[in-house]
Structure 1
Amino acid sequence: MSAEAVEIFERHRARLLGLAYRMLGSAAEAEDIVQEAFLRWHHTEPGSVEVPSAWLAKVVTNLCLNRLDSARSRRERYVGTWLPEPVLTPDGALGPLETVEQRDTVSYAFLVLAERLTPSERAVFVLREAFGYSHREVAELVELSESNCRQLHRRAKKRLADAGLPRSVADRPDHRALVERFLVAAQNGDLAGLERMLAEDVSSVADGGGLPGVARRPLKGAVRVARYLAATVSRSVESVTASIQEVNGAPAVLGRLGTALVGVLVLEIVGERVTAVRIVANPDKLRFLGDQAARLSRSPEVSGS
């Protein structure tokens, strides 16, 4: 492969990774998809692709659709609750997050609810909302009729709205302040303080991939969630170092045991209340973010803290 062909692909890598990640909710699988796209790009005849960006987007989309077809059965066998892999977003690893749509479609809330969409609905919604493709262009990428794509887009929007997808809050200055107060209350075992920040019907879900000590069933209600978090966080406060960084476009809590990342806590906030708590402790799902954090710590000019 020529140096020019490699340069063209690298120019689109972050955008392709962002597309695959939004489709799959897994950074590790997204990297595999992008690598496969690179191999296919490598085997094209020089000059045979008129619009590389569209060609690569189509390849990645189709690879993701194939992966999603088999993902459901794998996740049904998953031990405990399956959650998406968290990703640090200050370093541009997932491409630009300059618009509300770009940030919303990488948000943890979206990735959780997107699991309810069919693969085709998810593809059409992501291509349209996150990447701004017209319905005609989306139809060409997914090889469906334009009218069918319009219908899929409407259906996806309705499903997400009915499921309670919150409006974007990533840019609210008080979001980080609430996360900071939440962390302090949890570390101090302050049940009353936690309950004041939790919505009455708040839910807490943890993904440990079968790891001992990680709750496998969701908890519901402010009292139960506050007790669980206070007991879990305050018990580990002497051994685990907590910090707040931008994860999936919003502030989240990272927990480290020494230099090892052992957990990520993502809060979903509506108004002045936490409506959902999602904890990722599966080591496999922390590897990508851990590598990102290590790179960021060596690059002080890129900071999410």
Structure 2
Amino acid sequence: MAEHEFLAERFEEHRARLRAVAYRMLGSLSEAEDAVQEAWLRLSRSDAAAVTNLGGWLTTVVGRVCLDMLRSRTSRNEQPLDARLPDPVISPEDGLDPEHEVLLADSVGLALLVVLETLAPAERLAFVLHDMFGVPFDDIAPVVDRSPAAARQLASRARRRVRGAAPVPETDTARQRQVVDAFLAAARGGDFDALLAVLDPDVVLRADTGAMRVVHGATAVAGQAMLFRRPDRFAMRALVNGTAGMISFAADGPVSVLGFTISGGKIAAIDILADPERLARLDLTLLDG
């Protein structure tokens, strides 16, 4: 029993990092937890004494578990590309709690996760493990059943797609909030010109209500923004994946979570989760008080 407890303690030292890997791989908080739990089961059934680098071993195990889960989605046509928004990570506006800081290290905004959703499973794994967590290609290669050189190519292809599709976000939270507040004020005031002034010309709005709807371009997005004028709704500021966002409420509870990607002083992406089933599963207790 003492040996099992010692192994469990060692595993817990790596849990936060493993959850961060799985979240980037899967875009789902619940599935990320499942992947981490599976890694623990595999560790508990293995000869842990023979593992010289436990953190590296666990990271590749979680990567393999996530890869299998992604491939299973694809084979069942469970989630076509771009069919859903990733799960948002919601925190109080005054700052991330320590758990969320680890989960969202290196600015994993919703816009970036949406791009990761479009990658092939092996590309996603190579990019996440190498570019985000520094895993060597020699360790990635066996997971994807390729040579290290081929694994490097997978990450390179993924990197080009990410750079071409994911805007570079503004990192100053105060500046983010200024832009978001200007957007909301313009939307509530019905000021179309003011909306255009804070929207990037190529802004993308993605709304997941159970089915995904995508709107491109500042003019079209500004038109959609008039929906924020509804008098029966109120908003609460929050951090959504570490950046300025908001939760919209009706009298009977939350109706949407909005994440904003600010780039170059303008809104480059708006991601809205409004699927009632998924909203009901969100943990909003951190926003209390």
TM band (smaller chain)? 0.7 to 0.9
> Does 2:191 match 1:190?
yes
SS of the equivalent of 1:174 reads: helix
In structure 2, relative to structure 1, the CA distance for the partners of 1:69 and 1:224 (3 Å cut) is same
In the alignment, what sits opposite 2:6? 4
> Does 2:79 match 1:75?
yes
Quote how far apart the aligned CAs of 1:23 are: 0.5
SS of the equivalent of 2:79 reads: helix
SS of the equivalent of 1:56 reads: helix
Return the alpha-carbon distance in structure 2 between the equivalents of residues 38 and 287 of structure 1.
28
Unpaired runs of at least 5, structure 2: none
Please list the CA deviations of residues 112-138 of structure 1 after superposition, one character each: whole Å capped at 9, or x if unmatched: 111222111111111112112233343
In structure 2, relative to structure 1, the CA distance for the partners of 1:19 and 1:173 (3 Å cut) is same
Please list the CA deviations of residues 11-32 of structure 1 after superposition, one character each: whole Å capped at 9, or x if unmatched: 1111111100101111121111
Unpaired runs of at least 5, structure 1: 211-215, 299-305
Equivalence map 1:1-305=2 (5 Å) = 2-45=4-47, 47-72=49-74, 73-76=77-80, 81-88=83-90, 90-93=96-99, 96=102, 102-104=105-107, 106-139=108-141, 142=144, 144-162=146-164, 164-171=165-172, 173-210=174-211, 216-230=212-226, 232-235=227-230, 237-238=231-232, 240-257=233-250, 260-286=253-279, 290-291=282-283, 293-295=284-286, 297=288
Q: TM-score, normalised by structure 2?
A: 0.85
In the alignment, what sits opposite 1:302? none
Return the alpha-carbon distance in structure 2 between the equivalents of residues 256 and 172 of structure 1.
23
Quote how far apart the aligned CAs of 1:172 are: 5.7
Return the alpha-carbon distance in structure 1 between the equivalents of residues 99 and 190 of structure 2.
35
In structure 2, relative to structure 1, the CA distance for the partners of 1:209 and 1:42 (3 Å cut) is same
Return the alpha-carbon distance in structure 2 between the equivalents of residues 225 and 153 of structure 1.
33
Name whichever of 172-181 and 132-141 sits farther off.
132-141
Return the alpha-carbon distance in structure 1 between the equivalents of residues 202 and 5 of structure 2.
55
Please list the CA deviations of residues 209-266 of structure 1 after superposition, one character each: whole Å capped at 9, or x if unmatched: 15xxxxx532233233222221x2211x43x331222222311112234584331112
Residues paired across the two proteins, number: 281
Please list the CA deviations of residues 59-116 of structure 1 after superposition, one character each: whole Å capped at 9, or x if unmatched: 211111011112231113x9x9421111136124356379xxx424x22121111122
Residue type of the partner of 2:221?
V
Residue type of the partner of 1:282?
D
Q: What percent of counterpart residues are identical?
A: 37
- Whether the 8 Å contact between 2:60 and 2:140 is mirrored in structure 1 is no
Quote how far apart the aligned CAs of 1:165 are: 1.9
Return the alpha-carbon distance in structure 1 between the equivalents of residues 250 and 38 of structure 2.
34
